[in-house]
Amino acid sequence: MAKLYFKYGAMGSSKTAQALMCKFNYEQKGFFVFLFKPSIDTRTKIDGKSVVHSRIGLSSSCIEFEKNFNFVEYLKSQNYDKEKSVIIVDECQFLTKKQVEELKNISLEIPVLCYGLLTNFKTELFEGSKRLVELAESITEIKSICRCGRKATVNARFLNGKIVTEGEEILIGADEKYEGMCYRCFQKFKNQ
């Protein structure tokens, strides 16, 4: 169904794997999927081409976007079938407010599925995630667990083995820099 979906979770909750499985499912049913990721995510390129890659080994080529990228204009430049096309955005927290609004307008015609984090390492909403919460018709949490077994809700950033709560909002990384934690463990380890 054509609408705007926001699927979010803490670090390590399989957001990218689920985005790639969703892409596979749509393609298996004959849909064309426009898979996007922000150019700021430079972790994965294969033979110089941008790739969305999950920790469990799933991957797919993708289209990179920057802060000034216009989704509406891009889609207009493509020869696509409104009945059989879908947009999937990985790392959607890095979308701008304007880009989310563009995707909302696109979702009046084709499904737009956005996967990403809700909050940064300071427990504050990302700009893109905030606007997605305001505009998405469907908001789903992808749950994961903390090391203690509780539900992970915080994206803790580590530096030299210690949790940090100061610094630039964006520091690209995965398991080597971040860990999904419950708020209780976040508070406990933050003060050590």
pLDDT tens, position by position, 78-130? 988 899 999 999 999 999 999 999 999 999 999 999 999 999 999 999 999 99
> 125-173 pLDDT, tens per residue?
999 999 999 999 999 999 999 999 999 999 988 888 887 877 776 666 5
For residue 112, give Cα distances in angstroms to 22, 68, 105, 118, 182.
12, 19, 10, 17, 29
Average of per-residue pLDDT across 11-24: 95
Q: List CB contacts of 98: < 8 A, sequence separation 6 or more.
A: none
Listed residue (105, 131, 99, 130) closest to 3, CA to CA: 105
Q: What is the pTM of this model?
A: 0.91
Task: Please report which residue ranges of the chain form alpha helices under DSSP H.
Answer: 15-28, 71-76, 97-106, 127-135, 183-190
- Please identify every residue annotated as catalytic: 91
Q: In the numeric block, which tokens belong to residue 187?
A: 């508070």
Strand pairing class (45-46; 85-90): unpaired
Domains, the chain, with CATH or none: 4-143 (3.40.50.300)
Pairing of strands 59-61, 49-53: antiparallel
Cα–Cα nearest to 173, from 60, 19, 43? 43
Tokens at 174, concatenated: 């995965």
